[in-house]
Amino acid sequence: MEELKVTVQRLVGESDAQQAYCCMTEVPTPWPQALCQCQEWVARNLGEYIEGYHVQLESGEVAGHLYYAFSEKALIPYEIEEKVGVLYCEWVQRRYQGNGFGKRLFEAFKDEMHKQVVKGILVENTGTDGEDHLKRYLGLGFEVHSESERGRLLYLPIGQQEVEVHPLEPRIRSRKGAPVEILVIGGYMCPYEASTLLLLQEVAREYGDQVVLHQVPLTPETLKEYGVAGGIFVNGDPKLGGAETEESIRQVLQEAL
């Protein structure tokens, strides 16, 4: 089989951001509006809350991505000391897996972390990631730093063997009764999750003043205020995830009422 010719490109501007989330372009995405909004979020926040690399084919098509941030700006629910790289997400389209694209992405990222003289790299392994996700990072030299209800936090030492990390305490209170209060934190770092937010906005209008929807942008400040890095909270409880249907959203609202 002929070897595919690809390049690893750092995201530097809006045109790169408009090609973000190749995980949603393997097949026609069921959430095109959510994908567009997330790409716009990347364009607005590139170089501050998100950095990244794309694997590009000769045609210009993006076949894989890796997104990250530095601990001073990273949007994950942990208090982390300065000068640590935080890996958000990486993906290679299924049809191109097995060609070493993921390895090339990670090598480019790791080389950049060495240039930036970081202390190390952190990545979360949550309960939904699966054992293959964990095995991959352990194979890359990561070690289990700590475990919590969220899952495992993995660390790859570069300039410092140990790193100071503390999980944030969620500060969202549960309540009951009407009007139903919906708090949305963030919502545009992942098209899968953003799809529910966009549908929720439509469904919530049907309930008039019985449902109050509050949207809070995810920033380092709101991360510390609420202690969570995103989610949809119905009367204070995390009831809705990604890719929800209208029926499931209505059911959650009816139960809350």
Q: What is the mean pLDDT of the chain?
A: 92
Reference 34, options 207, 162, 190, 166; nearest CA is 190
Tokens 């949305």: give the residue.
184
Q: Are 195 and 34 in contact (CB under 8 A)?
A: yes
| Average pLDDT of the residues in 155-174 | 94
Residue 1 pLDDT level (bands cut at 50, 70, 90): very low
| Average pLDDT of the residues in 133-148 | 91
pLDDT given at position 29: 84
pLDDT given at position 180: 94
- Between the alpha carbon of residue 250 and those of residues 13, 38, 199, 206, 254, the distances in Å are 39, 24, 11, 10, 6
Reference 121, options 161, 72, 168, 158; nearest CA is 158
Q: Are 231 and 238 in contact (CB under 8 A)?
A: yes
Q: Tell me whether residue 63 is exposed, middle or buried, using C-beta atoms within 10 angstroms of its C-beta: 0 to 12, 13 to 18, 19 or more.
A: buried
**Cα-based angle 144, 147, 151 (whole degrees, multiple of 5):** 100
Residue 188 pLDDT level (bands cut at 50, 70, 90): confident
pLDDT given at position 2: 55
pLDDT given at position 128: 62
pLDDT given at position 149: 78
Domains of the chain plus CATH, in order, are 6-167 (3.40.630.30), 180-256 (3.40.30.10)
Distance CA 46, CA 51 (A): 6
| Average pLDDT of the residues in 244-249 | 94
Q: Are 250 and 180 in contact (CB under 8 A)?
A: no
Residue 168, helix vs strand vs coil: coil
Residue 133 above 90 pLDDT?
no
Torsional class of 119: left (φ above 0), alpha (ψ -120 to 50), beta (otherwise): alpha
Angle between helices 32-45 and 191-205 (to 10 degrees): 120
Read off the pTM.
0.93
| Average pLDDT of the residues in 235-240 | 92
Residue 129 pLDDT level (bands cut at 50, 70, 90): low
CA torsion, ordered 168, 221, 70, 25, to nearest 10 deg: 90
| Average pLDDT of the residues in 167-186 | 91
Residue 75 pLDDT level (bands cut at 50, 70, 90): very high
Tell me: cis bond preceding 179? Omega within 30 of 0 counts.
yes
Amino acid of residue 63: A
Task: Report the percent of the chain where pLDDT is more than 90.
Answer: 80
| Average pLDDT of the residues in 28-36 | 90
Residue 87 above 90 pLDDT?
yes
Residue 148 pLDDT level (bands cut at 50, 70, 90): confident
pLDDT given at position 127: 62
